[in-house]
Amino acid sequence: VSPPRLDIPRDYNAAHDLLARNAGRPDKLAFIDASSGATLSYGELDHQAHRFANALRAQGFAPESRVLLAMLDTPEWPVAFLGCILAGVVPVAANTLLTTKDFDFMLRDSRAQGLIVSKALLPVFESLIGQIPTLRTVITAGDDSSSNMALAHMIRAQTATKTIATTCADDACFWLYSSGSTGTPKGTVHLHSHLMQTAELYGRGVLGIQASDVVYSAAKLFFAYGLGNGLTFPMSVGATAVLLPARPTPTEVFGILKKHQPTIFYGVPTLYAAMLADPARPQKSELKLRVCTSAGEALPAEIGKKWTAQYGCDILDGIGSTEMLHIFLSNRPGEVRYGSTGKAVPGYALRIVGDDGRDCGTGEIGELQISGPSSALMYWNSRAKTKATFSGEWTRSGDKYTVDADGYYTYSGRSDDMLKVGGIYVSPFEVEACLMTHPAVLEVAVIGMADSDELIKPKACVVLKSGQAATAEELKAHVKQQLAPYKYPRWIEFVSELPKTATGKIQRFKLRQAQS
Ligand code: 3SK
């Protein structure tokens, strides 16, 4: 079967394409806010995105300038994202769970001239406003005040005249920050053509998404996974997406699945495990799911089997990356093998490369590399990291895999020490550096440990200074205060020393072996 082929013209604006595809269905619901019940039709979305593009121009934003988006998932998110792109302004979508220190880095690194921030997140930015040399405009979302800089007010004050920036398919369109192994995020630059390539290859090619679908993604829009799931794929065909500004707890998610009856649900393994353990989980007959997806970390086979038994609907486990924008390796409907990540998504080529640089044979472990039309242009301000990751046609994943004779790929760990926690990368070095700032800590090593659902969480092995004391709870609280909350170690083991090489390097693999 030949892969779906998408020829994108040279002169091309991704937001214009996504909106123009739905010009014939102005009354169809594009987005539903599951918290407030507010809705946005495709016609309203088109008007609001163009009005916002005009507002940005009126504020003096030139094409190619950057704007940081730190927004909760509400219908204002697509309005802001698409409005920026229509104006040729480059939205930089930020993880809203991060800290002031992280945002300080992102604003300076991206030299953002604007910030669009949900009112509820303003306290995290307060100490930065006025301190970042390039940042001159702050726009608030979720703000119904009459402030001139409230997004809703700016939209009302503009006309919906359609002026689209002259962009080409290979122009920078938007950035996402991917977590770095040292804790420093990397601005990953994506092009205008990339959104529609992922919609065609995975959204249509694997999920078979169509206008009649209603989708809900537990992964937020600022993640590459959530952006495709909740914005690009539904908009590419005129489907409806449900957005949830709050944290997706099992109660919230089941509430959405019952009330809005999504046909496609995109989750992550930790959430599927928690949903299956929820005594108040609904019956199969109460839901209308036709397909579910999982990414972020490998889906333990047991969770997939239990879900299918409970809801009569498979979970398509797959893997993508911020660098490739979405999923390039996935199980397919009707061909699911739990415990495996499936086969290459048609349109992407995969290879597994050994330490000697040669292609691995069947069953041999090596690093997974990907070639396909959505690979990022570069990491901003990081020439060495760009060269190490994007090597001509091939993009390195940093994940180790094997492939069997039938073409099914199986995950076998990371090439570096990075952990994936609830689908989000956590750098063990960042957590260690944070614990080292506690006055009682002499040395520390952070590794991943499987919980009772076989899902990886951070564990810290800590050596205390002689004569000093600290409790596990105190050290956990210390990390929670300084880093994004999902990064804290779920277990602390006090040890008298850490295993080290002759040159003093901590041997994390020995600590990992001691767990198993
Ligand atoms: O974590 C993943 O597997 C993933 C999937 C889609 C897009 C981005 C990412 C990181």
Predicted confidence at residue 1, as pLDDT, reads 47
Token pair listed for 310: 């409970």
d(CA 371, CA 111): 30
pLDDT for 505 = 75
Q: How many CB atoms lie within 10 A of CB 145?
A: 11
CA-to-CA distance for 81 and 49, rounded, in angstroms?
Answer: 8
Residue 510 pLDDT exceeds 70: yes
Q: Whose CA is nearest to atom 10 of ligand 1?
A: 321
ipTM of the complex: 0.98
**Total-model pTM:** 0.92
Higher pLDDT, 408 or 415: 408
With a cut of 80, say whether residue 183 has pLDDT above it: no
Q: Can you tell me the distance from the alpha carbon of 248 to that of 219, in angstroms, rounded to the nearest whole number?
A: 8
Closest ligand 1 atom to residue 327 Cα is 6
Å from CA of 426 to ligand 1 middle: 14
pLDDT at residue 422 greater than cutoff 70: yes
pLDDT attached to residue 338: 97
Say how far apart CA 11 and CA 198 lie, in whole Å: 19
Q: How far apart are the first and last CA of the chain?
A: 42
Q: How many C-beta atoms lie closer than 10 Å to residue 345's C-beta?
A: 26
Tell me the mean pLDDT in the region 218-235.
Answer: 98
* Closest C-alpha to 216, from 184, 254, 189, 166: 254
- Owner of token pair 């990390």: 479
pLDDT in tens, 91-139: 999 999 999 999 999 999 999 999 999 999 999 999 999 999 999 999 9
Closest Cα to atom 5 of ligand 1: 320
- % of the chain exceeding 90 in pLDDT: 90
Residue 413: predicted pLDDT = 83
Per the model's pLDDT, the better-predicted residue between 423 and 166 turns out to be: 166
Q: Would you say how long the chain is, in residues? A: 516
What is the pLDDT at residue 2? Answer: 57
**Residue 3: band (very low, low, confident or very high) from pLDDT cuts 50, 70, 90:** low
Q: In this structure, which residue's CA is closest to atom 9 in ligand 1?
A: 321
| pLDDT attached to residue 446 | 94
Average pLDDT rounded to a whole number, residues 403-432: 90
Closest CA to 248 of 230, 232, 236, 235: 230
Please name the residues in contact with 157: beta carbons below 8 A apart, sequence gap of 6 or more.
55, 148
Q: By C-alpha distance, which of 407, 405, 424, 206 is closest to 316?
A: 206
Average pLDDT over residues 317-337: 97
Mutate which of 227, 315, 321, 323 to test ligand 1's pocket (most atoms within 8 Å of Cβ)?
Answer: 321
Nearest to 81 by CA among 146, 176, 162: 176
| Mean pLDDT computed over 222-236 | 98
Residue 24 has pLDDT above 70, yes or no: yes
**Summary mean pLDDT of the chain:** 95
Give the β-pairing of 172-178 and 90-93.
Answer: parallel
pLDDT on residue 4? 64
Q: Pseudo-torsion of CA 55, 70, 119, 53, nearest 10°?
A: 10
The residue whose two tokens read 């020829």 is 7
